[in-house]
């Protein structure tokens, strides 16, 4: 990293030398997140077809802001979005946007929600901005993801004016603790808590929202992919009844960074918020991405989403998601049998483990990271320091799971 501290080169270098420098100095300073034993954050890997699709897209150098700037990417994008809706059982008429990640997908959906609800209340945010607008309450669960508050702040809805509904011991919003609201509002629910993997009770929240002209938005950064599995249907119940959905492709769908997906049930609501011209009547006969996303010029991330779904097919997607969940349960059982305490109900791909008091748990996490067999990070869950293990890579084999359990238990013994 010190080698990078040099001045701006005065003249050109050979491309091969540039690459040799990148590899020589860059590669050793990366984390091995492409491998099967990386369980940090919620990361996922990159399916081979998606990685090669990214090379191809970069070589094409397409600007995918409109149909005319890249007919190929526009068509792959339309198909990729259609396939995502089909795979997840979401309404076929929903319009979508491919963006950088779940943060921007949440932003995109919530901008559509905000503009739609305020227009119905007689206020055109697009033209007038928010100053002087009618009140628009936002309800989130007590364990909403940190990035959601950033998007609310970017949207002028404020980090701190949100109403927080208490969460239960698994981090699920409690439907019986939703606030009293009379007029229009936005309620954000989660498919997949970033620590426990728990799902909010969508069915109850959607029923509550229907009585109040309230927009239900789903942050399903990784968990939304559970909708692709019949096995996980009990968790996923009710989520398709929401008004908008945000998810990541770069987490559980296993495409390279950066890649997120926003879907909005009412296509006009999305176009109203994102149209470049300020008119939601689309100017061209084709779908132009600049009218449904926050971006104009953008890379062809549609190719990777398309390649993932083409390579996996419906059965491969379901199998990948269910395999991660099975492997997470195996880790939880293995660690518990070795004396660790599992703090969450392992309903999805996330495991939260403790190894005694906070300082002991932190020492075990450090020992695991030093050992290098696998990588797990730390978190705080219900006031306790914990190890968070996220199984979300296509590359994780059952042997990786067995080796990782052994490595974590070895680390625990060494403390
Ligand atoms: C990861 C995550 C986000 C943010 O996603 P990015 O892709 O990092 O923008 C939001 N919500 C949840 C639940 C997440 O897990």
- The CA R_g of the chain, rounded to the nearest whole Å, is 22
Q: Which atom of ligand 1 is nearest to the CA of 194?
A: 15
Which residue has the least CA distance to atom 5 on ligand 1?
A: 102
- Cα 129 from Cα 249, distance rounded (Å): 32
In this structure, are 405 and 265 located in the same domain?
no
Question: Ligand 1 in contact with 379 (CB < 6 A)?
Answer: no
Q: Tell me, what's the pLDDT at 130?
A: 96
Compute CA 99 distance to the chain's CA centroid, rounded to the nearest angstrom. Answer: 11
Q: pLDDT band at 285, cuts 50/70/90?
A: confident
Q: Tell me, what's the pLDDT at 121?
A: 95
Task: Determine, yes or no, domain membership for 30.
Answer: no
Residue 9 has pLDDT above 70, yes or no: yes
d(CA 103, ligand 1 centre) in Å: 6
Task: Determine, yes or no, domain membership for 31.
Answer: no
Question: Ligand 1 in contact with 42 (CB < 6 A)?
Answer: yes
Mean pLDDT of 76-105: 98
d(CA 149, ligand 1 centre) in Å: 12
Question: Ligand 1 in contact with 184 (CB < 6 A)?
Answer: no
Task: Determine, yes or no, domain membership for 344.
Answer: yes
d(CA 219, ligand 1 centre) in Å: 8
Question: Ligand 1 in contact with 219 (CB < 6 A)?
Answer: yes
Task: Determine, yes or no, domain membership for 33.
Answer: no
Residue 278 has pLDDT above 90, yes or no: no
Digit-coded pLDDT (tens) for 203-235: 999 999 999 989 999 999 999 999 999 999 999
Q: In terms of residue numbers, what domain contains 132?
A: 48-308
pTM for the full model? 0.97
CATH of the domain at 406: 3.90.1150.10
- Cα 159 from Cα 138, distance rounded (Å): 10
Provide, rounded to the nearest whole percent, the portion of the chain with pLDDT above 90. 95
In this structure, are 279 and 398 located in the same domain?
no
Helix, strand counts (H, E) of the chain: 12, 11
Q: Tell me, what's the pLDDT at 2?
A: 84
Q: Tell me, what's the pLDDT at 403?
A: 98
How would DSSP label each residue in 386-410?
A: EEEEE---TT--HHHHHHHHHHHHH
C-alpha distances out from residue 211 to 46, 165, 206, 216, Å: 42, 18, 9, 12
Task: Determine, yes or no, domain membership for 162.
Answer: yes
Mean pLDDT of 25-34: 93
Q: Tell me, what's the pLDDT at 3?
A: 85
Residue 284 has pLDDT above 80, yes or no: no
C-alpha distances out from residue 92 to 185, 235, 249, Å: 25, 22, 19
- In a 3-state reduction of DSSP, which class is residue 139? strand
Question: Ligand 1 in contact with 141 (CB < 6 A)?
Answer: no
Question: Ligand 1 in contact with 145 (CB < 6 A)?
Answer: yes
């Amino acid at each position: 990293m010190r080698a990078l501290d040099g001045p701006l080169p005065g003249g050109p270098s050979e491309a091969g030398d540039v690459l040799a420098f990148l590899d020589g100095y860059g590669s050793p300073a990366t984390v091995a997140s492409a491998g099967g034993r990386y369980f940090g954050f919620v990361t996922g890997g990159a399916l081979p077809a998606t990685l090669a699709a990214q090379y191809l897209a970069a070589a094409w150098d397409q600007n995918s802001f409109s149909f005319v700037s890249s007919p190929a990417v526009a068509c792959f994008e339309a198909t990729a979005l259609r396939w995502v809706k089909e795979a997840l059982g979401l309404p076929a008429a929903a319009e979508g946007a491919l963006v950088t990640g779940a943060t921007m997908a949440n932003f995109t959906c919530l901008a559509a929600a905000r503009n739609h609800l305020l227009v119905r209340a007689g206020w055109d945010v697009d033209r007038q901005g928010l100053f002087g607008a009618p009140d628009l309450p936002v309800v989130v669960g007590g364990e909403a993801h940190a990035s959601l508050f950033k998007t609310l702040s970017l949207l002028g809805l404020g980090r701190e004016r949100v109403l927080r509904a208490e969460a239960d011991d698994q981090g699920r919003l409690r439907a019986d603790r939703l606030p009293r609201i009379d007029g229009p509002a936005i309620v954000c629910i989660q498919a997949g808590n970033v620590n426990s993997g728990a799902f909010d009770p969508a069915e109850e929240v959607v029923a509550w929202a229907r009585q109040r002209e309230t927009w239900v938005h789903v942050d399903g950064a990784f968990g939304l992919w559970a909708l692709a599995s019949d096995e996980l249907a009990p968790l996923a119940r009710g989520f398709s009844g929401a008004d908008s959905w945000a998810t990541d492709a770069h987490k559980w769908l296993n495409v390279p960074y950066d890649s997120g997906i926003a879907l909005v049930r009412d296509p006009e609501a999305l176009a109203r918020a994102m149209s470049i011209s300020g008119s939601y009547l689309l100017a061209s006969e084709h779908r132009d991405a600049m009218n449904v996303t926050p971006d104009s010029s953008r890379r062809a991330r549609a190719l990777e989403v398309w390649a993932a779904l083409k390579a996996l097919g419906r059965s491969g997607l379901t199998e990948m998601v269910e395999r991660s969940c099975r492997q997470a349960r195996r880790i939880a059982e293995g660690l518990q049998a070795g004396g660790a305490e599992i703090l969450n109900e392992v309903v999805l791909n996330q495991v939260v483990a403790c190894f005694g008091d906070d300082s002991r748990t932190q020492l075990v996490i450090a020992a695991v990271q030093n050992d290098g067999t696998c990588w797990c990070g730390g978190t705080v869950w219900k006031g306790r320091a914990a190890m968070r293990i996220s199984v979300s890579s296509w590359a994780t084999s059952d042997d990786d799971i067995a080796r990782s359990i052994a490595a974590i238990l070895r680390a625990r013994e060494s403390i």
